[in-house]
Structure 1
């Protein structure tokens, strides 16, 4: 029997696709650095240092794992409606916000269609575009990393379908204003506002969805609720659009453990938001301490992270030397961020160890 060359039947544009550059697991970091996993300070994933709610852990422990989850997401959508103040028919839940991004491409992007992406920003939009066979129009943010709305609107052509906006932006931490979003909505294209870090900023455009069928607001339970490992997020959108999402999603897309954890977390909001407040306070302290170091600037942030900018060619050296001490942050390869890295906000102890190390390194 002749050996099949599998590449001949893979979609041509996927044969040489570049893998998404995801974070390495703690055990991998430990093995590479030679530092015990228990001693590693992991500040590269924007994870919640306080973890999830005990109510969520208890709910998962009691969940009948042999039963399929509800394909209609009824209880999750009701719980999220109570939390957000938006009608349940305007909400769709995904296996992480990443799945919802993927569903956007299933619904809107055919091969050759274009998205508009405002870089530097979260890399998942461009990655999903490449997977879908779409094209990416990149519009640079301005010197303060703000969206250049006129430039975005000027780059639209008849193949452009979707504009992606992250607010707060990852990794720069700044907000897209409501007026900017309204200007983008006037284009008639789908506008996706990724509010993964909403709880750390308190600013949202969710209420615009009732009057704008072309707006999707994405959220996640990973950051504020500490459920990153369970992969659960949600989208807020016009009811007409939500129906299409429910039609094309896999029937049991959110696993039953994630469903239980989401519902239980939303019964413990006060506790979770108290942890958010701790992170915001620690963000302010870290911001001040980093900006007291020579040769480095921390940019103001509305997320649970800070972007730090160094003198030319210094960021990679500092990144490597921090890693050698068991402190892992997020570096970047893009030209605009080559002299930057992003630090997630951890505990006060994490900040103290980070600053102590940076005082030696910089």
Structure 2
């Protein structure tokens, strides 16, 4: 009897699935340039430069939970989040990062078609890469409605594509461009009958109204949130989704037991208790974002894209994104480059502490002079 062949038995959808391009380890990148991690300014992952809140740090230091025990359910976390958002705890689904909740949407509603046409999702590139990655993972067709030249959404084309798709995935603010989903377009998309998944990972840095209140009562709308950006807990992997009670009950039944680890849950609850501090930090980052955007706009060869998130995408009219990324790396500054045709002359920078933002801006100016002089 032949032994199990892991390649031959692999599901068809996975045989050509490209690996998701996550961020490189900062320590390894630093070592390649002869730098220590302490010399690095990390503005490539949209992390919160202030880190966790004081209460979150304290609870992680003093948790005292016996790691050999399974945790309880996540009701305390959902109750804390519900109190902050003004929605019932029962309408909140927590998970080990919002990426996992994106995958759960696919597991529950989207698939390869079981002999018929594959289910389809609609995205608007450039956008967060996990939607297309999970589509490939689950054998789902991706229908891309590219954003317009000013990075706004092509509303009519999106609505038309949604009519024959099963779900639409749109971040608001969008990563990497920083733009918002107009409320009127959300209304039109909901009317198509497709599931609308709005990813609000960066909403705390915007002046937009959240859709969580609507998601808690309406069919066909799921809003994703995370503690990675606002809460500074990216390494703990904790996110949540808001949906109506009927949908949330289905999600809770389909989740693995003990899906949120006790350290992440405790830190998340402490973060909600420290919301005043975290909101003030977000306001500081927004002010810094506006300052950085203004200063970038004064550099003749850079065109920053207006952003409602904690990052700025900039178009380069001198050199290209890869060249600037590598020259910044040599100076200990890690930024985000996207290997896609529309973004090869762009670079994204996360908003850091004021003194680090100054160093980034200074380095960009100096590199511009080097490029101009050949």
Q: Same fold (TM over 0.5)?
A: yes
Could you say if the C-alpha distance between residues 162 and 277 of structure 1 is closer, same or farther in structure 2, counting changes exceeding 3 Å?
Answer: same
Tell me the secondary structure at the aligned position of residue 27 of structure 1.
Answer: helix
Alpha-carbon offset, residue 146 of structure 1: 1.3
Q: Deviations over 1:80-113 (max 9, x none)?
A: 0111111111111110100100000001111121
Distance, in Å, in 1 between the alignment partners of 2:81 and 2:160 is 37
**Cross-structure match for 2:69:** 67
Deviation at 1:211, TM superposition (A): 4.3
| 8 Å CA contact 1:149, 1:184 repeated in 2 | no
* Structure 1 equivalent of residue 243 of structure 2: 237
Q: Does 1:166 align with 2:135?
A: no
The answer as to whether partners of 2:90 and 2:248 remain within 8 angstroms in 1 is yes
2:105 — aligned with what? 104
Shift of 1:32: 2.2
CA shift for structure 1 position 232: 0.4
Q: Could you tell me which residue of structure 2 aligns to residue 314 of structure 1?
A: 320
| Match status 1:181 vs 2:186 | yes
The offset of 1:16, in angstroms, is: 2.8
Q: SS state of the match for residue 104, structure 1?
A: helix
SS in structure 1 of the partner of residue 122 of structure 2: strand
Match of 1:338 in 2: 344
After TM superposition, the structure 1 = structure 2 runs for residues 231-310 of structure 1, keeping only pairs within 5 Å, are 231-310=237-316
Structure 2 unmatched ranges of 5 or more: 113-117, 369-374
Is it true that 1:134 corresponds to 2:136 in the alignment? Answer: no
- Maintained 8 Å contact 2:163/2:192: no
Tell me which residue corresponds to 1:191.
196
CA 1:211 to 1:79, structure 2 compared with 1: closer, same or farther past 3 Å? Answer: closer
Note closer, same or farther for the CA distance 1:312–1:187 as it changes in structure 2 (3 Å cut).
farther
Q: CA deviation at 1:327?
A: 0.6
- Work out whether residues 47 and 226 of structure 1, in 8 Å CA contact, stay in contact via their aligned partners in 2: yes
Moved over 4 A (4+): 1-4
| Counterpart secondary structure, 1:13 | helix
CA RMSD of aligned residues (A): 1.4
Deviations 1:57-90 (A, max 9, x none): 221233303332223x110110001111111111
Task: Compute the displacement of 1:132 (Å).
Answer: 0.6
Structure 2 equivalent of residue 11 of structure 1: 11
Aligned pairs (5 A) from 1:141-160: 141-156=147-162, 158=164, 160=165
Do the aligned partners of residues 358 and 312 (structure 1) sit closer, same or farther apart at CA in structure 2, a change above 3 Å counting?
Answer: closer
Question: Secondary structure of the equivalent of 1:67?
Answer: coil
Can you give the 5+ residue segments of structure 1 that lack an aligned partner in the other structure?
A: none
8 Å contact from structure 1 (residues 69, 259) kept in 2: no
Secondary structure of 1:48 counterpart = coil
SS at match of 2:124: strand
Q: Would you say 1:47 and 2:50 are equivalent positions? A: no
Deviation at 1:312, TM superposition (A): 6.6
1:88 — aligned with what? Answer: 89
Q: Deviations over 1:102-147 (max 9, x none)?
A: 0000011111211001111110000000001111000011122111
Could you tell me how far apart the structure 1 residues matched to 2:216 and 2:56 are?
Answer: 31
Determine if contact 1:118/1:139 at 8 Å carries over to the other structure: yes
Distance in 1 between residues matched to 2:84 and 2:291, nearest whole Å: 29
Verify the 8 A CA contact 1:163 1:192 in the aligned structure 2. yes
SS at match of 1:115: strand
| 262-271 vs 306-315, which moves further | 306-315
Q: CA deviation at 1:313?
A: 4.9
What SS is found at the alignment partner of 1:140?
Answer: coil
- Does the residue aligned with 2:166 lie in a helix, a strand or coil? strand
For the 8 Å contact 2:301–2:318, the answer to whether it is kept is no
